[in-house]
Structures are given as structure tokens and as C-alpha cells.
Structure 1
Amino acid sequence: MIAAPARTPIARFVALVEQRLGLHYEQGQWGELEAVLAERAAGRGVELYLAQLTAPSAQAEWKVLAERLTVGETYFLRHPTQLETLVDQVLPSFLRQTSSLRVLCAGCSTGEEPYSVALLARERGRVDSSRLRILGIDVNPRAIAQARRACYSPWSLRAVPAAMRAQWFQRTPEGFALQPQVRDQVIFEERNLLEEAPAFWAPGSFHAILCRNVVLYFPPEVIRRIIARMAQALVPGGYLFMGPSETLRGISEDFELLRGGDAFYYRLRQPTPPAASVALAAPPPAAPQKVAPPPADGLGEVLHLLDAERYTEAWAHLESLPQTSQPQALLLRAVLHLHAGRLAQAEQLGRQLATASATEAPACYLLGLCLEQAGDEAGARGRYAASVRADPTFALGYLRVGTLARRAGDIVEARVALRMAVSLLPQEKPLHLALFGGGFGRHGLMQVGLQELQACTEVP
């Protein structure tokens, strides 16, 4: 038997970084790590250095690596609509239940985000600042030290209105120092999101958690552990805010997706009360079902689970069925691949299904979702346009075309597509809603369409 070749030093270093810091590097990105490895191992040799990284005494070295490798780009009032939703709607909703409100900013870098929450709470007046407790955590010790100093460059304040800057910051030779009453409202801790820390993540610890533009750098299995820990730490019905390009699709089924204006965010699902606790009364009229009549061959249950966003169960049930080349079965499989983040598998099936007239429209839409998740909005827009050419009544296709057109500044095209979406959504096929509704439902999607259309009218 031939022994397997030993992994190269850089491959072992990459694996250690992912294990300890959660940061995932594709092989094409290893060049930047090779330079760090060479620098840190200088004078002692790469093999000895890698061995030392696995020792309990390596804590100080890992702090250095965290400083070198973590991404800290941030500024005050970044993605402001989310922050405004937090202080205007989310936090006030808890005021009748508790005397103190607790917010966690995970991956807070140099502190601009938690301080932004504190500033907006004071500016907008919906929450008594004396009842608000904000905690910022980050794995980078240098960033935490800078956050505690609370002195920032003009570049960090580039989105802060002049009046707010004048009221809450003091000009110093080093930069703009935050006023003490705001600075002292936020506590900072050096903490690694990958560490268990049961006491820190105790149930009911926080009313809201901001984890924005953080998990972009983690592999899916690490993201699942982090999000599960955060779900546990939230109060019942607590909220999670993520970055605009981040999603829980295929990561967690513990949350429902909400939208306020241009802000997307998540709410922890409430447990379903036991049937015995429900009062005996005449049942309310049944709401219209989103799901189409159950397909044959056991796929109806898969579709039902998918519609309920129970993706893990849907996949397990689909795998338990006899393998078939039936187009609807392949479409369900492709959608579940997409929700699990397996974009290559979803795209492969989508291309296959796009050649059949019966599945061309949903398959093109699916391919658009794959491209959008991969960051190719122009390509995604083309695929969504193909979906509505294949099926001129496909409301969801028009909705995505309009949304991406608005982002690209093509306001005329956006208005046309969004008006089509709003007019067609009341008759959208239940199957399309189940496959691609993303938990919104018909009414929620109508609101999204109307809000997007309103945003078009606000463009000068």
C-alpha cells in the first residue's frame, strides 16, 4: 500500500486557521497566508512554528494572527436602515416586557457599529438610553483596544451628518472622540465566536444580535454552529441582523425572514403551542393554502416541508423516495441544493430543467438565484428575464428583474417589471410561491413589490 502524501505546510496552516479562527480560504487565496506563515515562522522554522500553534501556550500567537487575518472594514451608520429598524421598531417592542434591553454586536471590529446603535437610540428617542445595554465582541484584540478608546478618523465618520457629529463627537489632535455618555454605554470584550462559552451564550441573554458582514468569511458548517449558538442566546421572539449579502437559507430554520423598508432581518421563531392548550372554539376560516395539490410519488410531503422552510426534513424525505427523473422531483432537488448552499449542484440541475418547456421558467429563475448568491447580479437579472419570457405570468420573475434593475439604476425598466409583479402576484402559481417565496407568502411578497416600486418613485 502506498502511503498518502503528507499535506504541505501551507495546507496545514490553512487548516489550523480555519479550525481556530473559523476563516475559510480557497486555494487561490493561499498566497496571502504564505506570506504571513513565512513572517511568523522566521527564525524558528515552519515545522516548529506549526507544532507550536497546536500547543495550549499558543494563545498569544493566535491573538497576533487574529489581528493580521481578520477583516475590519467598518464605519459609523453602515447599512443605516437596519439600524433604524432596530432602534425604531425592534427594541421598543420589548419595552413592556423588561426593564433593560440587551444588544450584542458580534464581530464589532473597532466599535463603530455598537456606538452607532447607541447614537441612533439617543437621536431617535424611541428607547430610553438608560435601559439599553450594548455589548461588542471581536476576536481581534487590537480592534477591541481601539474601540474602547472611541477616537475615530474623519473617514470612519463619513456617513454621520454634520449636526450629529457636532453633538456627539469632540475634535482632538488624534481625531474625533466620542462623548463619554455614549462611549460608556457600550462594553467591549475580546471573544472568539467559535468558542463554546455556555455562560456567555446562555438562553435569553440578548433581545437582538447584530452579526453583519462577519460570517461571509466562514465555511457553512461553522456558520451553522455560530447561528445555532445565537438562536439559543436570544430571548423568545428575539431578532438577528445580518449583512445585506448574507442569508440563513440552508443554514438555519430557527428564524423567519422579515422586511422593513429596505432592511431585511430575522426573528426567532416562537415554539408552536401544544394543541391541548388551545381553547375549544369554532375554528377560524381556513386561510388559502400556498401549496399546490400534492404531486404524485410522495413529492407532496417534500413540497409541504419546503413551503414550511423545514429544509433538512424536506431533503431527508426526498432522499427516502425512489430516485426518479420526473421533472418536478428534479426541480425540488435543485431548490433544496440551493437552500443548502450547494450552488454547483443546483445550477447543474437547473440547466438540465431549463431545456424542457414544462420547467423552463422556474429553472431559469433558479439559475438566477444561483448567480445572485454568487454575486453576479447582472447575470442573475438575465436569467430572471428569461424566466418571464418563458412564462409571462411568472410574478416572482418580474419581482427579481425589477429589484435588480432598481439597484443597477435602470429605473424605467424597474418600474415596468415591478408593476407587472404587483399585478400578477395575486394569481401567482402556488407551486412558485412554495418553491421560491422565501417564507414571505403572497401578501408579504406583495408588500415587497410595493415597497420596491415606492423606492423607484423616490429616485430623483
Structure 2
Amino acid sequence: MSTPAHITRFRDLLARSLGWTFADNDAPPLGGLLRDRAADNGMSVDAYLVRLAARSWDAELSVLVERLSITETYCFRHGEQFAALREDALPERADARSSQRTLRMLSVACSSGEEVYSLAITGRQVRPDPDWIISVTGIDANPAVLRKAEAAWYSAWSLRETPDGVRRRWFRPDNGGFRVVDEIRKLVRFQRANVAESGDGVWNPGQYDVIFCRNLLMYLTADVTSALVERMTNALVPGGYLFLGHTDSLGRDPAGLELRHTHRTFYYRRNGGPTPAQRISSLPAPAEPASPDRAPEKAAPPVDENVYEKSLELLRQERFTAALELIAAPRTGPLRARDQLLHGVLLAQSGRLDEAIVLARRLSDENGLNPDAHQLLGLCLEDGSAVAEAVGQYRLAAYLDPGFALPRMRLGQLARRQGDDRTAAGELERALELLAREDDERITLFGGGFGRIALTVQCRSELDACGVHP
């Protein structure tokens, strides 16, 4: 039988060999897998772990990858990212590649290939001329899904988000499903690769115009994640694009990359290369030069610095009406973003949700990269019973600031209420880790009147309800 110590050792070996990490509530299935694999190899659990740790055991690692992989995917998943790829990233890269007349893309953890073919089809749609070379590589550690990818046959369910015109043009009915046409299949290749390793020929510097690596980083250890992000960044040409999943974020200012926000989605562009045709929508417009016929405008008097601090202190004391009156009082000079944010929080606390939502939407429209604006909008929408949209706002807040604990906590609580204990546990564990370092001012704004200790107790309670004991 497998003991907790055996399972801990098994988890450590999987992290070392594959770079994968597991939540505490994964312990029971991991224990079952450990017992099964030891028995199938005719070994005791102790002997199996010794053999797994001793030296390379590729055949066994292949079985473990097949048993542990999460392989659910479909063509053109998260269509807003493919819209950004088709209308922003690839046209820009095509302009930059006009002399080479080639576009190269990589799909990391490509699973059964739907993403790879979606990339190839998009590249084929965007290419400026027929003589351009479109090349897409898909890598995965699971040989079983790579075999399926090479077969290029998919059920109707895998094409559920594929536009009708795309399905008719690039897929052919075959044996109750659909097969990718040869014209697209010729553009792709698949390779087995472990993201915990450097990978022969996969990560050459400046090799790709676009890399997709979606919903993988959350399953990797911190060291492997850091190394993989560095390899992907270096493998992009200057000006190349990195698309991550909604669950993965590098924050607003990762090394060597700049955050882009178009088509209602976030993605990254490697620094350097030709100047992009489009910039982040929230960047301020350049100031207009002063007209010689117009007298210069006088600078507005500064906003009273004490108003914000006084209103925040009244919020801490739960004197919402007094705080709202103070922050909303007429004053000279423009309101700063933090004043408007606090105004929105106080409107919500006072039950004036409609006004709070309008203000929060304005803040997020003015600067789509402001995580606090998305957090405020999520809280307002959740109270207004628009839970699905609230979840999207919390995800944006967590994506933009990976150190922001409170959106993670809300995502975990909402996932648990929907019966998704696995997702809930992951979000709540992350929130619990981050709460110790959460900014005091954010706790005041978004903690619902609870302090750091009370929020930590709540988070632990929610984890207990998921069956997780950190």
C-alpha cells in the first residue's frame, strides 16, 4: 500500500522529472496511480519509487504522462485570442517578415492537435501571398495524444467553436467526424518534448513569430515555470507574440515582454522588432502641441491629498455615508484614479450598485490594465447576480497582478459553490499563500470589512470544505 510519505515522494519525483505540481486534494488519485504502476511493474511501492528516482526510465514516464495528462481541448478554443492573432499579431509579423516570407508558430502542450491546426488555418488565412511558408510545430509529453494529433481526425464536438465557413473550407467529413484537409496538414509537425527540459531544436533563439502556451503554467512548479517562460521569450523573434491561457499570467511587466490588450483578451509581445501598428488600447494619447493662436491653459489646482486618506479611514471605521460624502464632495482639479476607485467602493458599500457599476466600467475602460478596477467591477456584478461576468473580471484582476490575493479568493469561493472543488482548491491555496503579503489598502477596499486574519480564516475554512488541508 502507499502511505502519505510514499505519495509525497511520488509528487517530488514527478515535479523533478516532468515539472508538474499537484494540489493536496490530488493525493488520493496519485496514491492509486502509484499502487497501480508499482503492481504493473511487479514491484513494491518502495522499490518502484527507488527505480523511478535512480535513472532514466522513459517508458514508465510515458505511461505516467498519459495517465496524468489533462487533454480536453477543441478547435479555436477561446476565440477572442484567435481574433487577436488573426487581426493584430500575424498581420504585424507578416509586415516584419516581408523579406523572408515565412511565419513560424509553436503550440506548447498541444494535446491532440486541435490548437495546432487552428493556428495553421489562421496563418493560412492571413498569409499575404500563396508563396509564403506557414510552419506550425506542436509539442507535448504525451505520446498518445500526439498520435491522435497526427491522425488529424476530430469529432463534431471538437469543432463546436469552429465557424461554419472554416469547417467547410478546411475540414472534410470522414467516418462520422471531420478530418483536416491535406493542405493544412502539410503545414504542421508534431514532436514529443518535456517542458521541464531544454528540448532539442525546440527552443532555438528567435525561432518563432507566435507561441501559444495556454493553461499549462498553473500545473508546473515555480522553477519549471520560470525556466519555460524564459525559453519561450528567447525563442520568439523580437516583436513576436506569446499567448497564455486565462489561468496563467506573467503580470503587467514581465522581463523581455510587454502586455497587449485587444479583442477583449490579454497577450504578450517580445520587446524589440518593428514598432507595432497597434498599441495597448489604454496608453494615453500624446499631448497636442500648443497652438500659437491659443493661450496656454492654466494648470488645475492639485486635488486635496488628505481627502482620499480621510475617506479611506472612514471606510475602515465602516462610516460609509460620511466617507461617501467626503470623497464625492465637489473639489478643484481632476479626480485621480484612486479617488474614483474609492468612490466606487463606497457606492457599492452604500447599496448604490448601479452607480458603482457605471463608475467601475468607466475606470476599466479608461485603463484596461488596472487590476483594482476589474476587482471592483467583479464585486459589483457579483452582488448584482451577474456571476459569470464577475468571474471574468476577477480573472482579469488576477491575470494583471499575479500577487493580488483577493480575486483568487473570490474565484475559489465561487468555484466551490458551483461544485468545482478542484478549481476551488487551486485558487484558494494560491489566495492563502498571497494573503500574507496582500496590500493593507487593498484589504480595506475589497475585504468586505474583514481584516487579514479574518480573511485568512475564511480562506482556510473554504479549503476545508473542499477537502483540502494545507
Task: Verify: 1:28 aligned to 2:25, yes or no.
Answer: yes
2:140 and 2:101 mapped to 1: Cα distance?
27
What residue number does 2:34 align with? 37
Trace 1:265-414 onto structure 2 (pairs within 5 A).
Answer: 265-270=267-272, 395=337
**Aligned residue type for 1:56:** R
Deviation at 1:213, TM superposition (A): 0.9
SS of equivalent to 2:196: coil
1:231 and 1:127 mapped to 2: Cα distance?
28
Q: 1:55 to 1:437 in 2, by over 3 A?
A: same
CA contact under 8 A between 1:209 and 1:240: conserved in structure 2? yes
Deviation at 1:201, TM superposition (A): 1.3
- Residue deviations 1:184-210, cap 9 Å, x none? 211110101111236431211111111
CA contact under 8 A between 1:137 and 1:189: conserved in structure 2? yes
Deviation at 1:175, TM superposition (A): 2.2
Task: Verify: 1:61 aligned to 2:56, yes or no.
Answer: no
What residue number does 1:80 align with? 79
CA contact under 8 A between 1:395 and 1:420: conserved in structure 2? no
2:21 and 2:126 mapped to 1: Cα distance?
39
Deviation at 1:120, TM superposition (A): 2.5
Q: 1:86 to 1:420 in 2, by over 3 A?
A: closer
2:358 and 2:106 mapped to 1: Cα distance?
41
SS of equivalent to 1:77: coil
What residue number does 2:70 align with? 71
RMSD of Structure 2 on Structure 1 (CA): 4.0
1:174 and 1:361 mapped to 2: Cα distance?
65
Task: Verify: 1:48 aligned to 2:50, yes or no.
Answer: no
CA contact under 8 A between 2:90 and 2:123: conserved in structure 1? no
Deviation at 1:100, TM superposition (A): 1.2
Which one of the candidate residues 9, 14, 21 is aligned to 2:11?
Answer: 14
2:326 and 2:59 mapped to 1: Cα distance?
59
Percent sequence identity is 34
CA contact under 8 A between 2:327 and 2:343: conserved in structure 1? no
1:168 and 1:258 mapped to 2: Cα distance?
30
How many residue pairs were aligned? 317
CA contact under 8 A between 2:360 and 2:373: conserved in structure 1? no
2:182 and 2:74 mapped to 1: Cα distance?
19
2:163 and 2:343 mapped to 1: Cα distance?
33
What residue number does 2:277 align with? none
What residue number does 1:221 align with? 223
Trace 1:435-450 onto structure 2 (pairs within 5 A).
Answer: none
Question: TM-score when scaled to structure 1?
Answer: 0.60
CA contact under 8 A between 2:193 and 2:199: conserved in structure 1? no
Q: 1:111 to 1:7 in 2, by over 3 A?
A: same
**Aligned residue type for 1:416:** V
**Aligned residue type for 2:21:** H
**Aligned residue type for 1:22:** G
Task: Verify: 1:149 aligned to 2:146, yes or no.
Answer: no
1:254 and 1:230 mapped to 2: Cα distance?
11
SS of equivalent to 1:155: helix
Give unpaired runs (5+ residues) of structure 1: 1-5, 272-283, 288-353, 364-386, 403-410, 427-431, 439-451, 453-460
Which one of the candidate residues 416, 427, 443 is aligned to 2:358?
Answer: 416
What residue number does 2:199 align with? 197
Deviation at 1:169, TM superposition (A): 1.6
1:389 and 1:73 mapped to 2: Cα distance?
52
Q: 1:419 to 1:222 in 2, by over 3 A?
A: closer
Q: 1:269 to 1:155 in 2, by over 3 A?
A: same
Give unpaired runs (5+ residues) of structure 2: 274-285, 290-307, 317-322, 329-334, 345-352, 375-388, 390-470
Q: 1:361 to 1:121 in 2, by over 3 A?
A: farther
- Residue deviations 1:8-29, cap 9 Å, x none? 1111101011111111112222
2:355 and 2:143 mapped to 1: Cα distance?
48
Deviation at 1:286, TM superposition (A): 13
SS of equivalent to 2:137: strand
- Residue deviations 1:261-317, cap 9 Å, x none? 21211011239xxxxxxxxxxxx9999xxxxxxxxxxxxxxxxxxxxxxxxxxxxxx
CA contact under 8 A between 2:252 and 2:258: conserved in structure 1? no
CA contact under 8 A between 1:224 and 1:252: conserved in structure 2? no
Deviation at 1:60, TM superposition (A): 0.6
**Aligned residue type for 1:66:** V
2:360 and 2:32 mapped to 1: Cα distance?
49
Q: 1:420 to 1:56 in 2, by over 3 A?
A: closer
Deviation at 1:221, TM superposition (A): 2.5
Q: 1:46 to 1:89 in 2, by over 3 A?
A: same
Q: 1:39 to 1:416 in 2, by over 3 A?
A: same
What residue number does 1:108 align with? 110
CA contact under 8 A between 1:396 and 1:421: conserved in structure 2? no
1:164 and 1:82 mapped to 2: Cα distance?
16
CA contact under 8 A between 1:223 and 1:251: conserved in structure 2? no
Deviation at 1:414, TM superposition (A): 8.2
Question: TM-score when scaled to structure 2?
Answer: 0.59
2:336 and 2:172 mapped to 1: Cα distance?
55
Deviation at 1:44, TM superposition (A): 1.3
1:128 and 1:244 mapped to 2: Cα distance?
34
What residue number does 2:186 align with? 184
**Aligned residue type for 1:178:** V
CA contact under 8 A between 1:168 and 1:178: conserved in structure 2? yes
Q: 1:169 to 1:198 in 2, by over 3 A?
A: closer
What residue number does 1:206 align with? 208
What residue number does 1:90 align with? 89
Q: 1:130 to 1:412 in 2, by over 3 A?
A: farther
CA contact under 8 A between 2:324 and 2:343: conserved in structure 1? no
**Aligned residue type for 1:113:** E
Q: 1:198 to 1:167 in 2, by over 3 A?
A: closer
**Aligned residue type for 1:11:** T
SS of equivalent to 2:165: helix
